[in-house]
Amino acid sequence: MRRYDPATALIVVDVQNDFADPAGSLSVAGGDGVVPTINAEIDMAMAAGGLVVFTQDWHPESTPHFAKDGGIWPVHCVADTWGAQLHPALHTPHEAPRIRKGVNGEDGYSGFATRDPTTGRETATELDALLRDRGIGRIVVVGLATDYCVKATALDAARLRYETSLLTDAIAAVDLTPGDGAQAIDEMAAAGVRQWQTRMR
Ligand code: VGL
Ligand code: ZN
């Protein structure tokens, strides 16, 4: 089975310096280790005429997402800073769209929707429309972090009726509590997200 074709999108979730670089402010264990694995997928998807989409966590300097403003996270992925940039070793074809989440201070983890931190109202990002526009029916999810943005993005993809797969060796978890990453993988599986390893195709 070929993993990529023109009706398949590879969604590369938040492979940004603050998560992927060991010096990042919300550095995920093993985050830089998945970059070469993800690069091989990007190359394969592009070669097969598939769509590659990069999501980026994209916060203002103050947001209830951050511990200093009442949330739980250290300051990370502030718009236009080093931490918000895609990891420099990541293959980033210039035609691959970028979806930036949180531009207006919204919270939320999914690449498909943001959430107003005060009202809780969800707003769709441009991702679903972009995928529908390109005739995408299948989605492959990789990136960071398994227990937050990868999980939220994959669950939304499945809910939106895309045939959704997760590459379990191309993700890494925050694991605030040990086991969070494994539990997230179980939740995705229960929602119908298929699991593969990159060497299986
Ligand atoms: C993420 C924590 C806070 C993620 C984003 O990209 O998984 N995690 N903001
Ligand atoms: Zn964030």
Residue bearing the CA closest to ligand 1, atom 3 = 73
Closest C-alpha among 36, 31, 9, 11 to residue 21: 31
Alpha-carbon distance of 109 to 173, in angstroms, equals 14
Q: Please, what are the domains in the chain?
A: 8-196 (3.40.50.850)
At residue 1, the pLDDT reads 53
- What pLDDT, on the 0 to 100 scale, is given for residue 201? 56
Phi, psi of 58 (to 5 degrees): -145, 90
User: Nearest to residue 171, comparing CAs of 160, 182, 158?
Assistant: 182
Q: Which stretches of the chain score pLDDT less than 50? A: none
Q: Which ligand is nearest to the CA of 149?
A: 1
The yes-or-no answer on residue 101 being catalytic is yes
pLDDT tens digits, residue range 136-193?
999 999 999 999 999 999 999 999 999 999 999 999 999 999 999 999 999 999 999 9
Tell me, what's the pLDDT at 94? Answer: 95
pLDDT of residue 193: 98
Residue 78, CB-side half-sphere exposure with 13 Å CA sphere:
12
Distance of CA 172 from the midpoint of ligand 1 (Å): 11
* 116 is annotated as an active-site residue: no
Judge if pTM exceeds 0.95: yes
- The percent of residues in the chain predicted with pLDDT above 70, rounded, is 99
Q: How far apart are CA 92 and CA 176, in angstroms?
A: 29
Show the CA angle centred on residue 195, arms to residues 15 and 51, nearest 5°: 50
Check: CB of residue 129 under 8 Å from CB of residue 115. no
The length of the chain is: 201
Out of 32, 57, 149, 175, which one is annotated catalytic?
A: 149
